[in-house]
Each structure stands twice: as structure tokens, then as C-alpha cells.
Amino acid sequence: MPLSVTSRYHRLELLVDPDRGPYVAQRPAPAPDVATGSINHVLVGEETLDQLAKQYYGREELWWRIADANPARHPADWRAGDTLVIPPLTAAPAPTE
């Protein structure tokens, strides 16, 4: 699965999950720091990352910033009651060339 040079995943390792198939490793996110404006959000019901991005950033397509800030679990494994870190938009990892 070749990645476009404009992809935020360009130059990242391709991993294979036996249950989900190939996926791209996430960039390591900085450790969340509440002092920098990160918010802890407890998932309710069937909330999705794109819904949270719309709620906190005003743009659904920024869902990946929340995913990158919570690398310990695969997003498909999050459930109601789990706590996610929502990084401030200015502190979220930016794409690398």
C-alpha cells in the first residue's frame, strides 16, 4: 500500500494487525500535559473521533490529531467510559515532510 508523499503517514512504518490487516504506525505523540491546555474527555455512547474533532476543533477532518494524542490503544477499541486526551490544536503533532 504505497502512501502519497503528501500523506501525513509518509515515511512511517506499515504494520500488520492479524485481525484488522495492514495499517500505518502513528507518529509518536508528545505526552499529554494538562498544563498546556489538554482536555480529558470521557467517551459517551457511540462518539467518534470525527465528532470530537468537530466539537473541539470545529473541523471533522482533524480527527487524527486526537488519535495521535492517544496512541496506547487502537481507535476501534475505544468504548463509552474511556477517557481520551484532547490536545489543544496548537500542540497537536503537525505532519512531517
- Please report, for residues 17, 39, 60, 93, 95, the alpha-carbon distance to residue 7 in angstroms, rounded to integers and kept in the order given: 21, 27, 17, 14, 8
Element holding 63 (H helix, E strand): helix 63-68
The pLDDT value recorded for residue 63 is 87
Q: Is residue 94 a part of any domain in this protein?
A: no
pLDDT in tens, 9-51: 666 666 666 776 665 555 554 444 444 788 999 999 989 999 9
* Residue 53 host element (H or E): helix 49-57
Q: Judge whether 7 lies within some domain.
A: no
Domain span including residue 32: 28-86
Helix (H, G, I), strand (E, B) or coil at 49: helix
Q: Report pLDDT for 32.
A: 45
Q: Residue 23: its pLDDT value, please?
A: 58
User: For the chain, how many structural domains are there in total?
Assistant: 1
Residue 70: inside a domain: yes
- How far is the C-alpha of 87 from the C-alpha of 49, rounded, in Å? 13
Q: Is residue 20 part of a domain?
A: no
Could you tell me the CATH number of the domain that includes residue 55?
Answer: 3.10.350.10
3-class SS shares of the chain: helix, strand, coil, % to 5: 25, 15, 60
User: Would you say residue 9 lies in a domain?
Assistant: no
Model confidence band, residue 73 (pLDDT cutoffs 50, 70, 90): confident
